[in-house]
Structure 1
């Protein structure tokens, strides 16, 4: 059976304006690869209600899982939770279990749990909480959409809480070979190998080193014997 599929939805004007460099996609991709869930799309949208709602609808209907990043903090422009709820036509309000987590956290830190902080306890009806051991404010899962913070350390902690609850597929295996020839020289033979081993993903990633052109050829797939056979062909055609 094919592996579960995934998309990531990155939300925030600061990403699109270039003020903030997104680090969460790289981390998510690596962790999903380990979990044998295939990340197939990453989309970035602004802090616009309609953009978030329509992206959530489209992605959730296409992929097994959707992971969102950003827009669940205490400020007026943190609107992700509301618009995920809107996408699934669910009511949203401060929920007792989420509020209890925040109250316990702020009691420990001596900070006031004011109206702004209570925004982070607003969770759609029927959603399951995602733990946040760093700042307590939870993420949540609604249907197949997993809503998490944009701050990288918190995103990573939430993902660590969430992933053990998700079912993956067969692990993706990979091997690679470095060829010190330009892509124009290797494209023909590489296409022939890719056609013969069509169950595998064979990618060419060019580089320039010490004035020479080269490429890292990476072979990926779930069948180790097929990968070994493809690598043998590559080593025969491009001897080291």
Structure 2
């Protein structure tokens, strides 16, 4: 699961890009992102949500709230969620001291070195201030460039399964026309996830069917069957990576 933390996301001031990036990266690793939530900078909400997600999923990835200002409360919330203390981590402090010029590591910036007890650091090659992992929760920055660097740092330690493969078959056929046959196809291939996405392309109604499976043979068979369905309806199907 992913937990996005920050009032700026919920207010519309900031557009979240991290969930999109994480979902793609996890797919490459054979890990499925099953849920994503966005919560405000409210301590009780953050604590309750991370506890619930941590119990439910193998991994939880958070973004936001580990900066130098008063409203960056994620680290404290994680300490409370796991029932441990929090203090300036010696190695985190060393990294910040090496990053900033002499005299520039003020009290506000030092807040970014406060790490819950028992947590391990997640490298931040962009701006030095580390994220951290506590239990099965990876706590990372909200700034997209830093978040992406932290994901790259933690990725080698994640255990994934078979890679989820995908094919997207499109045709200029209305979604309503294909719905019944698509339902029958899903019944025939229960091990292949199928999603239908209607759109107008070049002023005409079209439907994109996205098929996903870890079994390439089954995936290709389902895609071939989808081609046949579209052709039977008078559409000439084609494939595209983007829906």
SS in structure 2 of the partner of residue 39 of structure 1: coil
**Correspondence for 1:90 among 79, 84, 104:** 84
Unaligned runs of 5+ in 2: 237-243
**Correspondence for 1:152 among 126, 130, 144:** 144
- 8 A contact 2:88–2:115 mirrored in 1: yes
* Greater displacement, 209-218 / 88-97: 209-218
- 8 A contact 2:195–2:211 mirrored in 1: yes
* 1:122 and 2:114 aligned: yes
CA-to-aligned-CA distance 1:55-93 (integer Å, 9 cap, x gap)? 100100000000000000000000000001110101001
**Correspondence for 1:102 among 96, 102, 107:** 96
SS in structure 1 of the partner of residue 205 of structure 2: strand
Structure 2 counterpart of 1:194: 186
**Correspondence for 2:9 among 12, 15, 18:** 15
* 1:166 and 2:158 aligned: yes
Structure 2 counterpart of 1:209: 201
- 8 A contact 2:173–2:230 mirrored in 1: no
Structure 2 counterpart of 1:138: 130
* 1:50 and 2:49 aligned: no
Alignment of 1:26-37 (within 5 A): 26-37=20-31
SS in structure 2 of the partner of residue 38 of structure 1: coil
- Rounded Cα–Cα distance in structure 1 between residues aligned with 2:226 and 2:4: 38
List structure 1 runs of 4+ shifted beyond 4 angstroms: none
Aligned residue pair count: 232
Unaligned runs of 5+ in 1: 1-6
- Rounded Cα–Cα distance in structure 2 between residues aligned with 1:103 and 1:146: 24
- Displacement of 1:210 after TM fit? 2.3
RMSD of equivalent CA atoms: 0.9
- Displacement of 1:111 after TM fit? 5.3
- Rounded Cα–Cα distance in structure 2 between residues aligned with 1:217 and 1:188: 13
- 8 A contact 2:7–2:40 mirrored in 1: yes
